[in-house]
Each structure stands twice: as structure tokens, then as C-alpha cells.
Structure 1
């Protein structure tokens, strides 16, 4: 459920008409709903009631400070994968002891920042990273809390570009190397093994791959404990999908996921760390765009909008489906097959092909739904198109939480060498 609903013939974000936001802020613009963010946190938390569970929101899904502060007030921690995300999480008020630092390529500077902040744990993904973390921790006379991210070689049955749990993926440590690396942690003076981490991919639409991975982790934890390792945390990552396409088979409910986790891992007496990102932010945001032209080709009809692949890259990158609806209620109107495309100079700048859509006139607004995760954070300035603004709605109020980048802002990022000076 989200809080983008039609009222009186117009689409609202909570109690704010999207037409008001378009008039005051312009288009394209990302719009997020506070009530939806909070609801998704609460639903996910309720699914794990009775377990010692910590929700560490995956900052990569949507890292705007206002979004992070909203989630911090709802009690979440953070899963970060860069120094920038760590800084964002701390600045938003997320306690360091609720922050997990993941990622395959942590630099010494990032490791030092995590140690200085006092984060909950580092999810380590290779033997060389383990050695570097020990060196950095020793230089600071600290002990780094470590969980090894294991690669269980389980097919997540998701898009190849967001699958992370197969042996050919760059993520995690091979199952055959895990026990030896935990023994290596015991030998290194500035590391402490505190847990096991696993994450097999994103936008999972079935629980079976997750259960298969978690079952392997249970066996691993028991084996590690028999070898004298104190394993207190099991980090299950994120990955549970959201419903993008109306009428398609829905992903598992958080309650079903929680039940499976309880049945699979409930007897291990471990703290469970969960890293939802898309599940929290995805359906809490839309990309609001305006129809520029209704172009009739020989064989196809094109709705050309002012948003483009540089603003929302998921359709071009992943062939991802996003529901797209008119802001004016289309109930009872004729539907025609159209390609919805942007103005960027690429054929891949296409949001959908031959999709039945209501007749929309130039100047009217469309809402690209489920754009709250991996939308603004993945945007760029291709074709010298400035970054679009972000807006957060809270009841009857809305606030621009990132202003539209101006062309002057964009050009000012460039530096001209002396030999080209006039």
C-alpha cells in the first residue's frame, strides 16, 4: 500500500495534490510520502516481532537526508557501502552502533571512518580486505567487529544485474573458503568475528532461494561455533521484492518472510540483522513528469515526456517495469498503445513500449510509480541535463528536500586549465 491516491479526479500524495507540487517546483520531480515510508518500516518490523531483530535500511536505495532522518526517527539503523553513505547516515542521526558497513571495495579511509565512528560491524567480502582491515584497526589501536559475507551459490531467480549470491558474482566469499577465513580472523589481533552475513540479490519474488541460502548459513553457524567462534549476529541482507506491475504475482509479504526466518533461524539465539531498501522506499516515491509531445509515427505512437533515462535509469538499465498513470483520473477513458519516451538522445531512453495508456494531452502530468528506490540516487547529468529536485510530503505539507540543479550549478563543476584561458 502507498499514499498516492486519486481524490476528486486528481492524484494526491497524502493530502497534497501533485498538481500543486508541479506548479510550484516544476517537472520532472521526485515526490516521496512520509506516511508510506513509516508504514513500510512498521509493517516490516511487525513481521519480526518476538525476534531480536535490527532493521538496517539500505541507504543505497534512497540516500536523501530527509528520507534518512524520517527512517532514523522510525528507529531504523543503516546499511552503508561507502564513506559518503556513512556520513549521510550519521548526519541524519542514525546511531553508529546501528550501522553496518558492506561493499566489496572498502578503502582504508572508509575503514578508518567506520572504526572511528564505532559502527556495529564490517561485512567483509575477501581475504585481502580482511588483512587490510586488521592493519587499519591496528594503526588506530582498535578491534574491528567483523562478519564475513558468504556466497552460498544460490540462484536468486532475479535479474542478472542484481543477482549477488551465485559463485560467478563478485560478492561474498566462496563457501569453500569461509571456515579458513574465520580461523584467520582468530589469528589476527585487531579483528573480532561477531557474525555471518549473506545477501543473494535484489527484487526477489519468491522465498525459496532465501530459505535455501539461510539453511546453509544455519549449518555454517553451528560448524563455526563448534570450532570455538562466538557468532552473535546473522545478517540476512535485503532483497525482498515489491509489486511494480499491477496484476502480476505479488512478491511474498513481509509477514511470510518473517515466518520463514523464524522457522529457519529461530533456534540459533542470534541477533538478526535485516537490510531492506527497496521494500521501504520503492513504493514511497513517484517521478512526476509532464507530457511534451504526442508524436504519431508510421507504426507507433509516442508520448514524449520531460523526464528521461538520466533521471530514472531502471527501465533503460534493467528493462524494469514501472506503472505509469495520469495525474488526472483516467477512469472510463479510452486506452491506446503508446511508447513513453524521454528527450535524451538514445533509443534506450524509453520508459515503456506499446503500453495501453489513457489519452493524455501535452502539458498534462504523468506519475511514474514505484520510483522511490534506485531512482534519484542513480540519476546523472547525461546530455547536460541538470539533476531534478526531490520533494517530501508529510500530510498537508511538502518541502523541497533537494533543489533542482541549475545549469549554472552544472557548468560550475567544470574547471578550465590555464592554457585554455582567454
Structure 2
């Protein structure tokens, strides 16, 4: 993603004057910093940012400027990105599977918190980390409310979590806990269930935990009304206070909900056929997540001169630019019947898991980034 320096008034202002022929992200730093402050002011604990959602230096620098002081990293590459843009930030390496060389690299970079979900990975940490390191046991539960379940890949069942927590404490490290309720989780009850589960595991292990990381999973605005984060914040705060007989410091690690709203993506219609649009981006590019996290409807159409397309709508199949027939959006797009070749489709709230997941398959996948004052 190549970034332009001057600010434009809005995406439509830029589209009408430049008429780009490559997918173009419109980034609004003011929105990004506003969302960051919403988390910092509303969440009762430490707010970290999950770098995986969007690792662009623009994002990292603006989050630092807004007051974010800690970042969740998942690889040495992400560690280096944060150190280059926010050199004094705290690093939480909460990818629970790491090679020994990755652990060593994290330690050398000053990682202050680690997660683990099995004996083998815990043994690696105990072999390498200095005394009194923070190790958070990641556990999983069967909880609904998310677009898809993160527990399928990571997280220890309750009995294993009890065992791991006891091992961490017995080894003289600071024992913490962490979980992830699943991506795009809009139901506060999911956090309530997980926090109650964490308290039960800690009690069974006989361990006073140092901190409880309530994960990411906070929902971005993908359709309908914007999700109310305040209800989730309040559920987390009140449940943690009631569930533990002692004060537990809270941590969260939003990715999607932190960065999504600060970006819009404009893609161009290359061709229209009966009932179908062929776009200059698709599932091998910045639209990769749409077939997985479905139900996105924040799309509008403008003509090349910036005029909004309105009127009667119909549904279109939407294909990406590659030669692969799999390069197709799962959901049909409801758009004006007048949508035509060279029009632009603008996807709002598209800053997360878009540019970072794009590939260069078939020579596509490149994009530009333009700074705007308003989205």
C-alpha cells in the first residue's frame, strides 16, 4: 500500500479529481485517534492494540499519539514494526505458539507479557524467560456470539488451564490469564461467561492471578447500527469486580474494532455483465475477509465524477480481477441498478484485515493509500 502525503477533503473529492484505477484506501487519522480514545476512556484497564489487524506505520504512529502505550504482537516482524514506530511501547507476545528463536527475539526486544495454552509451549518459556516474567494462560470455552470461534485453534480447556496456571505460579512467574471470545463478538454475555470461567479456573488452581486479558473480539461496524462498545465495557468491569475476591487488573487487545472505522476502500468496476460486476479487487486482495465474516453491507456507489448513484437497487454477484473462479464474494451486493463500468464501490469501515491480507496473485493486490480529513 503506497501512501500519499497531502490530505484530501474526502474520498469522493479524491476519486472525482484523480479517478484512480487501483484499489484505494482512504485513511482518516482523526477517526483512528477518536476510536482509540473511546477505548482508553471507556475500558477499565490497559488498552493494547492487536497489530495483526492493520500494521501500517500510519496506524501505529496515530495510536501512539492518541495514548495507546502497549501493543499485542504475534511475530518478530510485528515487534520490529512497533519498535520502529513506538519505541517505548510495551509489547505483549500473545501468539501462544512460538519457536525458541522467536521467544529469544521477543525477550531481546523487551516483551513484557507472554501467553501459553499447552505444556510444551510453557516448557519453552520456562527454559528461556527470566524470573518473574508475566505468563498468561489462554483458555477456551464453548461460548456463542462471535462471527467465528477463535477457540478452534488456540486455548486450553479448563482442566488444562488449571494445570498450566499452577505450573506458572510454581515456577515463580507472574501468573495471568487471557481469552478471546471470537471475532466480531457483539454479545456482552460472551465476556461475562469467560470472566466467570477465568475466576473459577484461578480458584481451582489456588492462584491469585496478576492480570486478566479479555482479548479482542470487540465488534466493528459492518452492518445495521454501530455496535455499542460501552455495554461490553460495563459488562467486563462489573463481572470482573464481582467474580474475583481480589482486584484483578484488566487488559484488552482490540484490533478490528480499533482500526476498521478509520479506513474506507474504493474499488472500481472493470466490467458489468448480466447480474454481475467485475471489480479491480477481490478475495485475493483487500476483500479477502468478506467470504469469511459475512453480512457486510456498508457499500455505496459513486460515478467517476463523484456523483452518488442512487435509485432502485438490485443484487449483483461480484467477482475480483484474477483468473480464478474462486475470486468471488460470497454475498451478493445490493447496489443501484444504474451501477456501471468505471463506477467506484466504496466500502466503509474497512481498515481491518484488508490491506494486511492482500496477496499479489495474478499480479493484482497492489493498492494506494490516501489521507483524508473526513470519511
Range of TM-score over shorter length: 0.7 to 0.9
- 2:150 corresponds to: 164
Residue 291 of structure 1: how far off its partner (Å): 1.5
Over alpha carbons, which structure has the higher Rg? 1
Change beyond 3 A, Cα 1:370–1:264: same
Partner Cα distance (2:48, 2:110) in 1: 15
Partner Cα distance (2:238, 2:279) in 1: 48
- 2:39 corresponds to: 44
- 1:307 corresponds to: 281
Q: 1:89 aligns with which of 82, 85, 88?
A: 82
- 2:3 corresponds to: none
Superposed, 1:247-396 pairs within 5 Å as 247=224, 251=227, 253-266=228-241, 268-296=246-274, 301-311=275-285, 312-319=287-294, 321-327=296-302, 328-330=306-308, 332-351=310-329, 352-353=331-332, 355-393=334-372, 395=373
Residue 186 of structure 1: how far off its partner (Å): 3.6
SS of alignment partner, residue 290 of structure 1: strand
> 1:185 aligned to 2:163?
no
Residue 24 of structure 1: how far off its partner (Å): 7.4
CA displacement 1:288-339 (0-9 Å, x = unmatched): 111221212xxxx112221122212012344452422113453653323322
Change beyond 3 A, Cα 1:63–1:293: same
Residue 364 of structure 1: how far off its partner (Å): 2.3
Residue 187 of structure 1: how far off its partner (Å): 4.1
Q: 1:147 aligns with which of 115, 131, 136?
A: 136
Question: Residue 177 of structure 2 contacts residue 213 of structure 2 at CA under 8 Å; is this kept in 1?
Answer: yes
- 2:107 corresponds to: 115
Question: Residue 48 of structure 2 contacts residue 72 of structure 2 at CA under 8 Å; is this kept in 1?
Answer: yes
What stretches of structure 1 of length at least 5 have no aligned partner?
A: 1-12, 399-422
Shifted more, 35-44 versus 353-362: the winner is 353-362
Residue 60 of structure 1: how far off its partner (Å): 0.8
SS of alignment partner, residue 314 of structure 1: coil
Residue 233 of structure 1: how far off its partner (Å): 0.9
Q: How does the TM-score come out when normalised to structure 2?
A: 0.87
Question: Residue 316 of structure 1 contacts residue 348 of structure 1 at CA under 8 Å; is this kept in 2?
Answer: no
SS of alignment partner, residue 250 of structure 2: strand
Larger RCO (alpha carbons 8 Å, 6+ apart): 2
Q: How does the TM-score come out when normalised to structure 1?
A: 0.78
Residue 250 of structure 1: how far off its partner (Å): 5.1
Residue 347 of structure 1: how far off its partner (Å): 3.1
CA displacement 1:173-223 (0-9 Å, x = unmatched): 1211222222222443xx613311111211012111221111111233344
- 2:4 corresponds to: none
- 1:402 corresponds to: none
Partner Cα distance (1:391, 1:174) in 2: 45
Partner Cα distance (1:356, 1:242) in 2: 22
Question: Residue 301 of structure 2 contacts residue 335 of structure 2 at CA under 8 Å; is this kept in 1?
Answer: no
Aligned length: 359
- 1:125 corresponds to: 117
Residue 17 of structure 1: how far off its partner (Å): 4.1
Residue 106 of structure 1: how far off its partner (Å): 1.0
> 1:134 aligned to 2:108?
no
Question: Residue 134 of structure 1 contacts residue 144 of structure 1 at CA under 8 Å; is this kept in 2?
Answer: no
What stretches of structure 2 of length at least 5 have no aligned partner?
A: 1-6
SS of alignment partner, residue 340 of structure 1: strand
Partner Cα distance (1:220, 1:14) in 2: 52
Change beyond 3 A, Cα 1:357–1:94: farther
